Amino acid sequence: MARPSPTINVMTAAARKAARDLVRDFGEVEQLQVSRKGPADFVSAADLKAEKTLHRELSRARPGFGFLMEEGGERAGDGLSRWIIDPLDGTTNFLHGVPHFAISIALESEGELVAGVVHQPLTDETYWAERGAGAYLNDRRLRVSARTRLEDSLIGTGIPFKGEEGHAHYLATLAAVTGQVSGVRRMGAASLDLAYVAAGRFEAFWEFELRPWDIAAGVLLVREAGGYVTTPTGGLDVLESGDVLAANDRLHQPLAELLRSVPRPVGAAA
């Protein structure tokens, strides 16, 4: 049986405490107070409440650590370690009553991802990983899929929201990939997409222009489950770039080649 470290226990406890309110609010989703931030990008009372809970619990446990949060922005700490938090990944799903969302917490120390937790409140699935110690779903060790052929593969992705740049380029990459694989799924929560790659449910996942809190925990999960995570051009700076391709060792390269075969507009992020 896996033995989580004290750090993972702290992260999991904070996620579960925040999850209790999310589950209750999800049951009353029509009653939520919602304000609009931008095209198809919402912030809800549930988002803010969950983030406040996570900040409080993690600050108590590790008072010197900094924070990078989706809603609350960056808060300075000791300059060495910081929590990277998405309190509700899949907000649009949540607000539409779609039961697919997660809490994502990563710990970055001296610029390296060292721990990650992705918790799905409704299914009570907790994906967690520590650098050098493997990735797990609750108590079960995770490994990426062993499939080796694109035509047998199920791939996760994310579509840019209406009004954002890069829509045409993304649709061209989608067409290129769809023609080569068994299926493509757009689930609406990047942290869970990456967790599914780590668990072997998806063979791969790609998306462009994500934020660090969307992917930090999931990146570590995939790497600790034996997968590869880079930008589509092969770079390792996925948190800075926001462009991510995660897959096993046999499918990463052919998928990268497919994505690179679609010219990107001049001036777009690499």
pLDDT above 60: residue 267: no
In this structure, the dihedral spanned by the alpha carbons of residues 147, 151, 156 and 159, taken in order and rounded to 10 degrees, is 160
The 10s digit of each residue's pLDDT in 156-214 is 999 887 666 778 899 999 999 999 999 999 999 999 999 999 999 999 999 999 999 99
pLDDT score of 77: 82
Instruction: Give the class (CATH, top level) of 150-260.
Output: alpha beta
Residue boundaries of the structural domains of the chain = 6-141, 150-260
Q: Average of pLDDT values for 82-90?
A: 97
Say if residue 1 is exposed, middle or buried (CB neighbours under 10 Å; 0-12, 13-18, 19+).
exposed
Domain 6-141: homologous superfamily in CATH: Fructose-1,6-Bisphosphatase, subunit A, domain 1 (3.30.540.10)
Residue 72 contacts by C-beta under 8 Å, 6 or more apart in sequence? Answer: 51, 55
The whole-chain average pLDDT of the chain stands at 92
Structure tokens at 59: 């600050």
Residue 161 contacts by C-beta under 8 Å, 6 or more apart in sequence? Answer: 38, 39, 40, 41
The 10s digit of each residue's pLDDT in 114-155 is 999 999 999 999 999 999 999 999 999 999 999 999 999 999
pTM, two decimal places? 0.93
The answer to whether 227 and 198 have CB atoms below 8 angstroms apart is: yes
Q: Burial letters for 205-227: b for 16+ Cβ neighbours within 10 Å, e otherwise?
A: bbbbbbebbbbbbbbbbbbbbbb
pLDDT above 70: residue 89: yes
What are the backbone dihedrals phi and psi of residue 125, each rounded to the nearest 5 degrees, phi first?
A: -95, 125
pLDDT above 60: residue 42: yes
CA–CA separation, 225 vs 258, rounded Å?
24
CA–CA separation, 72 vs 78, rounded Å?
18
